[in-house]
């Protein structure tokens, strides 16, 4: 459905706007979700002209890489003509007055019915100031919708997250706030619900009677690259576990929603997170390990501490592995092993659901005394690969009655993957539609901090012996020991 709206992008000259927001808005335009009745105001401190802004937007689309150079197309020019730049310092009240005048003018010109989306593509320390000014300077309209989209990181711990939430909640109600966790915009993540609740075979096995353990890996092969400044204030626990991994856990462990609606899904996900056990410091120490990359085996890649912008004695973790458990009735006690890190052997996000083995191997007694039944594993490939794999035991093809493992696999082709809307495109589309299904509710964010804060505090009270893993491996040995202790191994082991 075509939508009318004014987008006001704070941080319009930034990296996120350039790499994700402008290309996503263009794809929505190409597909007809946005037509004549939309406008974008980009604001930031730089004194750009509208003409320069149009060039930037057109370059962003050309650089997007999905298709050949689209800079010269008439469509791109027409799209870019809807963009307006307003130089703006977020702390200066006068600028909001000018912003309102421009917003009102564009509202009339493009017939936007007072619909506004405020996208805060800026550091979170500005969120409170911006939200307060949007309200006090009356940018928030009393007709049409007003929605606030914000980016991670949402606080550094529960306390700061709460402060941040209080600040934006003074101007926007919860149902106007769209907290982006771009993992929730990924097709393969959204598909978890379809897989679990759309297949009787899977739905009936998704419980503690049948699942032995669940493993979640978010592995990156790159190092910190040019984000050292931010990363030194965050680390892998805050950057990946508090948001993406706990969101994935909530989707994997929630009970079945009565319907696939934003409200139902939110309630089930909040419950799922409330059911994740919050550790004591001692339990956190036992169940979570951290790592930081050293150089690679060929000494060609630098250790984290030698990267530009990092502290030579940095205590920041670039790797986390841990074990969580849920008290959700259906999955109570099933261990959920999680792992994420930079400079690992291979880039892959995947989920491995390991099923319990059959009670008795009746084939052992037939001909092949060595016949070994492997555990059935259901793998969900999230990225870069998108697909599924199911490991089964079948007869070995020999005279004797032994068994061998086979894999049923489905992988999206490159052409199919190219058709799937990119996460930001999907999420901006949903925000335009007022669909909050794939955005994080405050209760989810708060609960995720409660789970993570204990781990952070435990680590902050003890010095880590870093670096403790070689770049290009799957992290420190302690991550393997974490599972070995439970007589298990990581399924994904490149
Ligand atoms: P960036 O540093 O590239 O851009 C920041 C923007 O804020 C710039 O446009 C800058 O001019 C503007 N700005 C800074 N101070 C200002 C002030 N006082 N008044 C007006 N404008 C001001 O940052 P980014 O990478 O685009 O990230 C933006 C936000 O999105 C951050 O919260 C970041 O954590 C989050 N985020 C970014 C990415 C990404 O891929 N870049 C991914 C996830 C989350």
Q: CATH code at 12?
A: 3.40.50.720
**Domain assignment present for 162:** no
Q: What is the pTM of this model?
A: 0.95
**Domain assignment present for 160:** no
Are both 43 and 122 inside the same structural domain? yes
* DSSP letter assigned to residue 486: T
**Domain assignment present for 468:** yes
Are both 100 and 221 inside the same structural domain? no
Say how many Å lie between the CA of residue 313 and the centre of ligand 1: 27
Domain boundary among 106, 132, 151: 151
Asked whether the predicted pLDDT for residue 392 surpasses 90, the reply is yes
Residue 262 makes CB contacts below 8 A (sequence gap 6+) with 435, 436, 437
For residue 238, give both structure tokens: 């805050």
Interatomic CA distance for residues 233 and 255, integer angstroms: 35
Interatomic CA distance for residues 105 and 103, integer angstroms: 5
Say how many Å lie between the CA of residue 14 and the centre of ligand 1: 5
**Domain assignment present for 346:** yes
Nearest CA to ligand 1 atom 11: 44
Q: Could you give the residue ranges of the DSSP H alpha helices within 330-420?
A: 414-419
E strand or H helix that includes residue 243: none
Question: 253: closest CA among 202, 298, 206?
Answer: 206
Asked whether the predicted pLDDT for residue 67 surpasses 80, the reply is no
Are both 190 and 146 inside the same structural domain? no
Domain boundary among 100, 128, 151: 151
Structural domain of residue 76, as residue ranges?
Answer: 3-151
Looking at 333-465, which runs of residues are DSSP E strands? 335-341, 348-355, 377-383, 387-395, 403-411
Does 244 participate in catalysis according to the annotation? Answer: yes
For residue 248, give both structure tokens: 């994935």
Are both 129 and 212 inside the same structural domain? no
Atom of ligand 1 nearest to the CA of 152: 44
Are both 220 and 137 inside the same structural domain? no
**Domain assignment present for 161:** no
Are both 9 and 88 inside the same structural domain? yes
For residue 293, give both structure tokens: 């990359």
Of 12, 15, 229, the residue with max ligand 1 atoms within 8 A of its CB, to mutate for a pocket test, comes to: 15
Pocket of ligand 1 (CB under 6 A): 11-17, 44-46, 88-90, 121-124, 151-153
What CATH number corresponds to the domain at position 192? Answer: 3.30.360.10
**Domain assignment present for 355:** yes
Are both 135 and 198 inside the same structural domain? no
Are both 89 and 224 inside the same structural domain? no
Output phi, psi for 184, to 5 deg.
Answer: -75, -10
E strand or H helix that includes residue 39: strand 34-44
Are both 137 and 14 inside the same structural domain? yes
Q: How confident is the model at residue 64 (pLDDT cuts 50, 70, 90)?
A: confident
Structural domains of the chain, count: 2
Nearest CA to ligand 1 atom 4: 14
Are both 26 and 134 inside the same structural domain? yes
**Domain assignment present for 163:** no
Residue 113 makes CB contacts below 8 A (sequence gap 6+) with 4, 107, 143, 144
Are both 209 and 275 inside the same structural domain? yes
Q: Which carries the bigger pLDDT value, residue 1 or residue 452? A: 452
Say how many Å lie between the CA of residue 44 and the centre of ligand 1: 9
Are both 201 and 109 inside the same structural domain? no
Question: 453: closest CA among 301, 279, 239?
Answer: 279
> Of 54, 244, 429, 441, which residue is the catalytic one?
244
pLDDT digits (tens, 9 = 90+) for 393-414: 999 888 878 888 999 999 999 9
Atom of ligand 1 nearest to the CA of 123: 32
Atom of ligand 1 nearest to the CA of 89: 19
pLDDT digits (tens, 9 = 90+) for 248-267: 999 999 999 999 999 999 99
DSSP string computed for 8-26:
EEETTTSHHIIIIIHHHHH
């Amino acid at each position: 459905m075509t939508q009318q709206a004014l987008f006001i992008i704070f941080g319009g000259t930034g990296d996120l706007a350039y790499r994700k927001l402008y290309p996503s808005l263009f794809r929505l335009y190409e597909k007809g979700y946005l037509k004549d009745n939309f406008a974008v105001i980009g604001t930031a401190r730089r004194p750009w002209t509208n003409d320069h802004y149009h060039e930037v937007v057109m370059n962003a689309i050309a650089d997007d890489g999905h298709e050949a150079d689209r800079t010269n197309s008439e469509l791109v020019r027409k799209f870019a003509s809807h963009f307006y730049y307003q130089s703006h310092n977020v702390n200066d009240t006068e600028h909001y007055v000018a912003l309102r005048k421009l917003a009102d003018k564009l509202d009339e010109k493009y017939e936007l019915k007072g619909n506004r989306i405020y996208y805060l593509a800026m550091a979170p320390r500005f969120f409170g100031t911006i939200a307060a000014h949007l309200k006090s300077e009356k940018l928030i309209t009393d007709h049409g919708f007003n929605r606030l989209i914000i980016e991670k990181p949402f606080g550094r711990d529960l306390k700061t997250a709460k402060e941040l939430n209080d600040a934006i909640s003074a101007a926007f109600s919860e149902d106007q706030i769209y907290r982006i966790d771009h993992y929730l915009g990924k097709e393969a993540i959204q598909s978890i619900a379809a897989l679990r609740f759309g297949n009787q075979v899977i739905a009936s096995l998704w419980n503690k009677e049948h699942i032995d353990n669940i493993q979640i890996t978010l592995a990156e092969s790159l190092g910190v690259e040019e984000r050292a400044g931010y990363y030194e204030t965050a680390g892998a626990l805050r950057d990946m576990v508090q948001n993406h991994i706990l969101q994935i856990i909530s989707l994997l462990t929630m009970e079945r929603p009565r319907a696939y609606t934003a409200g139902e899904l939110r309630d089930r996900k909040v419950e799922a997170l409330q059911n994740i056990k919050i550790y004591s410091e001692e339990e956190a120490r036992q169940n979570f390990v951290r790592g930081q990359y050293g150089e690679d085996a060929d000494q060609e890649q630098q250790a984290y501490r030698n990267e530009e912008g990092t502290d030579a004695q940095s205590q920041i973790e670039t790797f986390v592995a841990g074990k969580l458990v849920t008290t959700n009735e259906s999955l109570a006690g099933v261990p959920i092993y999680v792992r994420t890190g930079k400079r690992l052997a291979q880039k892959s996000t995947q989920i491995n659901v390991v099923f319990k083995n059959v009670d008795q191997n009746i084939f052992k007694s037939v001909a092949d005394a060595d016949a070994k039944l492997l555990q059935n594993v259901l793998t969900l490939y999230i990225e870069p690969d998108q697909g599924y794999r199911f490991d089964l035991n079948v007869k070995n093809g020999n005279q004797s009655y032994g068994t061998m493992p086979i894999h049923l696999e489905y992988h999206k082709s490159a052409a199919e993957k190219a058709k799937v809307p990119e996460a930001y495109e999907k999420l901006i589309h949903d925000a335009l539609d007022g669909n909050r299904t794939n955005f994080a509710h405050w209760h989810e964010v708060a609960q995720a901090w409660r789970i993570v804060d204990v781990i952070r505090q435990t680590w902050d009270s003890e010095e880590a012996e870093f670096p403790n893993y070689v770049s290009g491996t799957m992290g420190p040995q302690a991550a393997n020991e974490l599972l070995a202790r439970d007589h298990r191994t990581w399924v994904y082991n490149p």
